[in-house]
Homo-oligomer: A and B are copies of this chain.
Amino acid sequence: MTAAVGQNGVRRSPTMRDVAEAAGVSPTTVSFVINDRAGVGIPDATRSRVWTAVKQLDYRPNATARHLRTRRSQTIGFVTNGLVDAPFAADLILGAQDAAWAREHLLAIATTDGDPRAEEAAMETLLSRRVDGIIFATSSHRVVTPPAGLRNLPAVLLNCVCADRSLPSVALDDVEDGRRATEVLLRKGHRRIGLIEVVRPGAQPTGSGRLEGYRQALGAFYARFDESLVHRGDGSAADGYHVVRELMRRPQPPTAIICGTDEIAMGVYDALRELRLVIPRDVAVLAFDGRGAIATSLRPALSTMALPFADMGRWAAGYLTDHLDHPMPLPAVQQTIASPFVERASV
């Protein structure tokens, strides 16, 4: 409890030297004891003298000084463009944070709103802080040209890949997701399945990847692919609503619908309700979603493919911390994580 007092009388946090004096040993010994350094024999009597002094002074090693000496900041940078637009993007951060914290690393987050100049500034700040590695994340799955600085230190791409696949990355397995979502419905006997996907500039892989998986699944079940059942929109509820009204007016309407987002599903539910169609009896609905909030609040509860954003974040931080000592071109693993199917009541 007794903090050391400087010559000006100001309370100063105790240093290793203070502990050393209190324990009657040298600072070196204190360092050895505190870090439990292997290969140096220090008798238990001395160790406990040191620990007693540590407790008594309420000593806490100064991480900054340690980082300077060891050239390790125990910090990993997290650069990302716009979290604003994507609600689930927060899960990428939370997952990475979780894994980093478990490995005694801090996550230094830098948000850049996508502007290259801001991105440059963010990299500058992180490099200045001598982060041990960097996670570069995007709010939607896409191909990016990451800042050049990433090649000089351990780095992982999160929710994106680079054109030449030269950096390790972790992303959604869109094709697999699309296939598995479709298979869930095919197994229940559905053969005419609507697909309402998000196609925004810059968000290509997800929409088209899932479509590809959708076709593969249909093929595997010898079901006909009908282009007119596929709609590409902006991912909004309004979009889902209008598409379904149009879709169900057809001579041969679909018996199931896959929604690219849970917002789309909300619109789909509204449209089906207005048409007096009962979910899942008349039409089954399946959606991709980030968090369960919407899915569990709909009636009947919405079955979803749960996008594994938190797991992706965890993977990125885990891979990075595991390879901080690896010689520089890191193995460019291209990891994908498929979305688990969460069965509720809409299928």
Contact = CB atoms under 8 A, between A and B. Distances in A.
B127 A60 contact: yes
Contact of A129 (B64, B107, B294): B64
Contact of A266 (B110, B263, B298): B298
Interface stretch (A22-30, A94-102, A329-337): A94-102
Interface string A244-267: 000000000000000000010011
Contacts of A64: 64, 67-68, 73, 129-130
A50 interface: no
Contacts of A48: none
Most buried by B among A63, A108, A236, A297: A297
Interface in A100-156: 101, 104, 106-111, 124-125, 127-130
A90 interface: yes
Given A297-B266, A299-B241, A87 B130 contact: no
A40 interface: no
B111 A101 contact: yes
Copies held by the complex: 2
Contacts of A101: 109-111
A297 B127 contact: no
A237 interface: yes
A299 B297 CA distance: 15
A172 B104 CA distance: 33
A130 B270 CA distance: 53
Interface in A277-310: 291, 293-294, 296-299
A18 to B, nearest CB: 16
A115 to B, nearest CB: 14
Interface of A: 13, 60-65, 67-68, 73, 83, 87, 90-91, 93-94, 97-98, 101, 104, 106-111, 124-125, 127-130, 236-237, 241, 263, 266-267, 270, 273, 291, 293-294, 296-299
Given A64-B68, A93-B93, A101-B111, 4 more contacts: A62-B130, A64-B67, A107-B109, A241-B299
